[in-house]
A = this chain, B = another copy of it.
Amino acid sequence: MIERPLIKFCKNCGTAVAYRVPDDGDTRQRAVCPACDTIHYENPLNVVGTIPVLGDRVLLCKRNIEPRWGKWTLPAGFMELEETVAEGAARETTEESGANFRMGELFAVMSVTRVGQVHLFYRAELLDDRFDPGHETIEARLFEEAEIPWDEIAFRTVREALRLYFEDRRTGVFGRIHTVDIR
């Protein structure tokens, strides 16, 4: 789901689409159906996750899926319909780590224009150090700041979220949202 497959056929009637600017005042090229006039919009997707913390340690998950198999990440994944941002972030944390935790505040909103995504991270407080990761995770474990495998982090947004988290912890100031643009 990282690469978006090109829209070649109309989702409503199966006719081959044409790429053009619709006649409704739009300014962007869309996949438009010449048979039934359906316009196929493509918009950014939200990736929602948490920064789960126990004392001075942060939980990272070693990815058992592509992309970035074997690299470390914060628990996060695509937001689904019928859930809030916080519910999605909590669901992903449960799926990828099996941790017991309490959700905290929204911490960062990161626009990743190159892949058409917005990454939203909540803080989360771990209730213990027992994990039960699902099939997407090889291993879930806690890291002190000095132990973070910076060169083995799966995504730039995760690296940036961790960097900002440790920075806030040093200054003792939490509560301000971080809005970050990653090109």
Verify A38–B84 contact, CB threshold 8 A: no
Partner of A81, one of B7, B12, B43: B43
Partner of A46, one of B13, B38, B46, B80: B46
Given the complex of chains A and B, what is the CA–CA distance between A108 and B7 in angstroms? 33
State the oligomeric state as a number of copies.
Answer: 2
Main secondary structure of the interface of A (DSSP, over half): loop
Partner of A78, one of B43, B79, B109, B176: B43
Contacts of A116 in B (CB 8 A): 81-82
Q: Considering the complex, which residues of chain A in the window 35-94 have a beta carbon less than 8 Å from any beta carbon of chain B? A: 38-46, 78-87
- One digit per residue, 1 when the CB lies within 8 angstroms of any chain B CB and 0 when it does not, for chain A 164-182 equals 0000000000011101010
Minimal beta-carbon separation of A69 from chain B (angstroms): 14
Which one of A10, A11, A85 has the greatest number of beta carbons of chain B within 10 Å?
A11
| Count of interface residues, chain A, beta-carbon cutoff 8 Å | 49
Verify B181–A118 contact, CB threshold 8 A: no
Q: Considering the complex, which residues of chain A in the window 130-183 have a beta carbon less than 8 Å from any beta carbon of chain B? A: 135-136, 175-177, 179, 181
Say yes or no: A7-B11 contact (C-beta < 8 A), given A82-B113, A86-B181. yes
Partner of A40, one of B11, B16, B85, B109: B11
25 CB contacts below 8 A, A to B, read A5-B38, A6-B11, A6-B12, A7-B11, A8-B14, A9-B10, A9-B12, A14-B16, A28-B80, A41-B78, A43-B78, A44-B80, A44-B81, A82-B113, A82-B116, A83-B113, A84-B111, A84-B181, A86-B179, A87-B111, A105-B179, A106-B177, A109-B109, A109-B120, A175-B175
Enumerate chain A interface residues (CB-CB to B < 8 A): 1, 5-16, 25, 28, 38-46, 78-87, 105-106, 109, 111, 113, 116, 118, 120, 135-136, 175-177, 179, 181
